[in-house]
A = this chain, B = another copy of it.
Amino acid sequence: MIGIGVIGYGYWGPNMARNIWELPGAQLVKIADSKPNRLELAARRHPSTAMVTDADDLINDPKVDAVVIATPVSSHFPLAMKALEAGKHVLVEKPICDNSADAYRLVEAADRRGLALMVDHTFLYTGAVRKMKELVDAGEIGDIYYYDSVRINLGLFQEDVSVLWDLAVHDLSIMDFVLNQFPTTVACTGCSHVPGRPEDVAYLTLYFPGTLIGHIHVNWLSPVKLRRTLVGGSRKMIVYDDLEAAEKIRVHDKGLIMDNDDEKVNQMRLRGYRSGDVWTPQVDLTEAIRTELNHFMKCIEGAERPISSGLAAARIVRILETATKSLQCRGELLEVQPL
């Protein structure tokens, strides 16, 4: 039986707690939150779990083997570092922290101690995203032309984090997972419409080696909710719509018809277009958080290695940092330095 503690019982913490509560092999040992009224609610739901206002108390509890951190971004680094130093496995909400240097420090700290460090990039645990990766890895899509993602709605403004860090982090983690490639340069435009608040609309272009281009549109001020990704390739194209109840992934057998121009070697010539059938593969609809927590358990036991690893999360933060700088310069093209 693995003992788990949850720090932060605000928006996301209750979801985590509820799922750990029912997770076979796990015990929800302790919940920490500085607000007494949140703890009261937690106690009602989980009467056999201990409640504390002090996160240190939880981190240092010997019955706690792993810590789930669901607090504001700025506290992720200190809490995660303390937990790792105390020898605990860590699952931290996204983004892992607010800068890539700290993210990398956490990766090292976990690695040195042989602890699992996992970041809650939930979408990687959905059947739809795994199916996309499977299709791309199998070469079904061919050479990837573009990765275009839209994630917009009338959203909760955050005090100190722009829409990029709140929403684009999802798209970046999915893109990193599916494409297995790292962008070379980024250019980001956007705007804030509430004085004194961070950007609420942003457009992020990512250039990769070759002709692959990525683009992410995030917006907290949209009247409609959209969650749609297009992956265009030389053989096929994917439409991933996360708001579809059942048919989240559609594979379009569409593309260009090219052929080798005999006279000039290495030259391709466009001959026309191909428009064929559409195929909607059945995807696993298990709740992602359950798959994720089962995977976390396996990682703690050493049987698996984190898919949404600290290192992947650090890469994402590196892109977010660079995009933020570009955004402040109205779209200046910046190199994304490897970690």
Contact = CB atoms under 8 A, between A and B. Distances in A.
B267 A196 contact: yes
A189 B280 CA distance: 31
Given A213-B201, A222-B230, A331-B205, A268 B237 contact: no
Interface in A203-256: 203, 205, 207, 211-213, 215, 217, 219, 221-225, 230, 232, 237-239, 243, 245-247, 250, 252-254, 256
Given A194-B268, A207-B330, 6 more contacts: A189-B207, A195-B268, A203-B205, A205-B331, A222-B232, A223-B237
A48 interface: yes
B278 A277 contact: no
Contacts of A182: none
A214 B311 CA distance: 35
B217 A215 contact: yes
Contact of A256 (B47, B221, B332): B221
A185 interface: yes
Given A146-B221, A191-B211, A330 B279 contact: no
Interface of A: 21-22, 44-45, 47-48, 145-146, 148, 150, 154, 157, 185, 187, 189-197, 201, 203, 205, 207, 211-213, 215, 217, 219, 221-225, 230, 232, 237-239, 243, 245-247, 250, 252-254, 256, 258, 267-268, 270, 273, 275-282, 329-333
Contacts of A253: 282
B243 A245 contact: yes
Nearest to A185: B330
A148 B223 CA distance: 12
Given A223-B254, A281-B277, A47 B48 contact: yes
Given A191-B146, A213-B190, A332-B333, A224 B252 contact: yes
A201 to B, nearest CB: 5
A169 to B, nearest CB: 20
B277 A282 contact: yes
Given A157-B270, A331-B331, A213 B191 contact: yes
B192 A211 contact: yes
Contacts of A185: 330
A168 to B, nearest CB: 14
Nearest to A199: B213
Contacts of A203: 203, 205, 215
